Structure 1
């Protein structure tokens, strides 16, 4: 038995509300269970109850046992002076106010609906499973799942918006600069994301703006800050980059001391940092004021067109410096643009709307639903239980569900868990 289960029982009135009596034998009528408090202090504020013939307004405190009142030292805390009802699963001790009057106690174990209690024990009987409800997950109604997944996706966007807000504050509310940092990070994908992000943080975005009319300078800036121009290589393109970077380094007093090292190991050649940095340089050379253009773009085709770039010609026949490969233009694929939309562009558009006091645009929901589902280990595992992930909204929501609810056993806060308890 967990205390949060009793919170759930009280909040959603999963007990016999018609025949309630205090331990002292007085009848209880519920007018309002109060407002659930998730911070310090009593568990429910501003409840309204009729105990006997007296109408009370105040707070409700909930415990497994009555004696927990003293175990938590509530008798010493003024915040609990206004408790009008002590709700417990098991009564084992009288609790008094400071004036020595008894606080009315409701012992819930006699009133909880048996089916709810059985379902609760079943749900939490084996927390070693991949998710607590894996045996019953497939039984959840599609209507409940669809609405819960959309809510989870918005919750995930809210979480990502906190990171964006921190970047905005650090950049004096410069959305273009924040976009550059986030795009750079996700051009590095999972393996080089942190290294690319440290690269973006190592220079001021104003430098990118000043030189973006010259693609070679942009590439020199990015390759140099990434530490890729520190060798002696007999290659004209490499030497040009190195020469231009030396000029930029002196002019803008650049340092890459805190840029993390790049990784090539276990990467597909198309995801090598050399290729991704060249594509990023080409994007910023081609698209002036990129953030403004993203704001007015709405459909997948709009974004595919905006990110229709290739690495510079040298990389058509290379993946690394010097070593030639079969000629193959290194284009930014639609699948890669989808990743950028999921991880950067849509969260940024969401945060921008939020900062400007606008509700979640339905166009954003339509956009994420138009992107194919991701296919990571979490999504595969959920799909084995029930074929559920049809779009990127679903896959992002399922990641949120697994990491923030299932892994933390927050079933009582989950719409799926609630439906199984009912």
Structure 2
């Protein structure tokens, strides 16, 4: 039994309300269950009810057992002094507030709709499932599913916006600097993402701005701050980068590098950090105003053209320093640009439009619906239940669903869970 289930029962009155009584036999007439409180304090605010003919307006606290009041130390918190009703599944002790008055208690155990209990047990009590609703997932109403997935995608964007807001504060609202930081992390992919992020944060973006017309110095800055230029190589290009980096380090008083060592193991050569750092440098060399161009892009093709970037000339015949390889342009692929769109560009566009006081939803949704679905174990598993993920909007929504609802057994706050809990009145 979860408290969230009892919250659902209380909020939607999924119990017999005809002859309610407190544990002391006082008649209860329920006028209004109140408003759910998602922050600290009692679970429902401003409930309205009558107890033995006296009208009360105040807050409601919900627990599995009455004794949970003391387990949670509510008796020490003045925020609970105005609780007018304690709603529990089982009553195992009286609860007193500071004036030694007994808090009226309503027990739900024997008055919850029986079909609802059966649905709850089917959904949440059964074990050995990938997700609780896997046997019913394919049969969920399409309209409900589509609306819920759209909401989940927006919810995921809002979660990512928190990270963006933190970066904005750190850069004093420099959106170009925020974009560079986020792009750096995503250019590093999962394996080198944190190292690239540390590199991007290790110097002021104003330094990169000053070097954008100098591709060699741009590469030297990124490679040097990423800790790539601390080896002994006789390669002429490597030596020139070291020389440029030493000059930049002195000129801009660059801090000592303290980043996570870059990893090459288990990476395909096109994803080697050397290639990704060079591509990132070339992006900023060829497009001085990347942020403005991203924000004004109206179609996916605009983005693909903007990020049609290769590594610098040296890397055409190299993946690492010294060792030559077969010539290839090392261009960013469409799949890689799609990942940048999903993880960086669309969340940033969402945050920027909100920052400007505009409604970001339609613009961002249109982009996300035009992108192909991501491919990973979670998306594959959902598609086995129902072939549902047709776009990046859906795949991102499904990731949000799995991590924030399914894995946390948060079915009572999920539209799918709500639909499966619905029952006919007794």
Structure 2: runs of 5+ lacking an equivalent = none
Shift of 1:226: 2.2
Q: How many residues align?
A: 422
Shift of 1:58: 1.4
Shift of 1:279: 1.0
The residue that corresponds to 2:273 in the other structure is 273
Moved more, 171-180 or 83-92: 83-92
Structure 1 distance, partners of 2:190, 2:70, is 49
The residue that corresponds to 1:412 in the other structure is 412
Shift of 1:408: 1.4
Is contact 1:199–1:256 with CA below 8 Å preserved after alignment? no
Moved more, 225-234 or 404-413: 225-234
Alpha-carbon spacing, 1:135–1:285, altered in 2? closer, same or farther (3 Å): same
Moved more, 300-309 or 109-118: 109-118
User: Deviation digits for residues 344-376 of structure 1, max 9, x if unmatched?
Assistant: 111111111222332333011110111111111
The residue that corresponds to 2:184 in the other structure is 184
User: Deviation digits for residues 164-194 of structure 1, max 9, x if unmatched?
Assistant: 1111111111111111111111111111111
Structure 2 distance, partners of 1:327, 1:77, is 70
Structure 2 distance, partners of 1:406, 1:196, is 31
Structure 1 distance, partners of 2:178, 2:67, is 53
The residue that corresponds to 1:196 in the other structure is 196
Moved more, 34-43 or 112-121: 34-43
Structure 2 distance, partners of 1:94, 1:379, is 48
Alpha-carbon spacing, 1:134–1:159, altered in 2? closer, same or farther (3 Å): same
The two structures have a TM-score, normalised by structure 2, of: 0.93
Matches within 5 A, 1:172-321: 172-321=172-321
Structure 2 distance, partners of 1:134, 1:3, is 23
The residue that corresponds to 1:114 in the other structure is 114
Structure 2 distance, partners of 1:97, 1:217, is 69
The residue that corresponds to 1:138 in the other structure is 138
Structure 2 distance, partners of 1:70, 1:277, is 56
Structure 2 distance, partners of 1:273, 1:73, is 52
The residue that corresponds to 2:363 in the other structure is 363
Shift of 1:128: 4.4
Shift of 1:88: 2.1
Structure 2 distance, partners of 1:92, 1:225, is 62
Structure 1 distance, partners of 2:198, 2:39, is 36
Structure 2 distance, partners of 1:345, 1:397, is 17
The residue that corresponds to 2:53 in the other structure is 53
Shift of 1:18: 3.5
The residue that corresponds to 2:148 in the other structure is 148
Structure 1 distance, partners of 2:279, 2:7, is 53
Is contact 2:34–2:44 with CA below 8 Å preserved after alignment? yes
Alpha-carbon spacing, 1:177–1:70, altered in 2? closer, same or farther (3 Å): closer
Structure 2 distance, partners of 1:251, 1:97, is 67
| Secondary structure, counterpart of 2:20 in structure 1 | coil
The residue that corresponds to 1:345 in the other structure is 345
| Secondary structure, counterpart of 1:263 in structure 2 | coil
Shift of 1:105: 2.9
Shift of 1:8: 1.2
Structure 2 distance, partners of 1:99, 1:343, is 54
The residue that corresponds to 2:126 in the other structure is 126
| Secondary structure, counterpart of 1:124 in structure 2 | helix
Structure 1 distance, partners of 2:401, 2:157, is 13
Shift of 1:282: 0.9
Structure 1: runs of 5+ lacking an equivalent = none
Structure 2 distance, partners of 1:48, 1:275, is 65
| Secondary structure, counterpart of 2:56 in structure 1 | strand
Shift of 1:285: 0.6
RMSD: 2.0
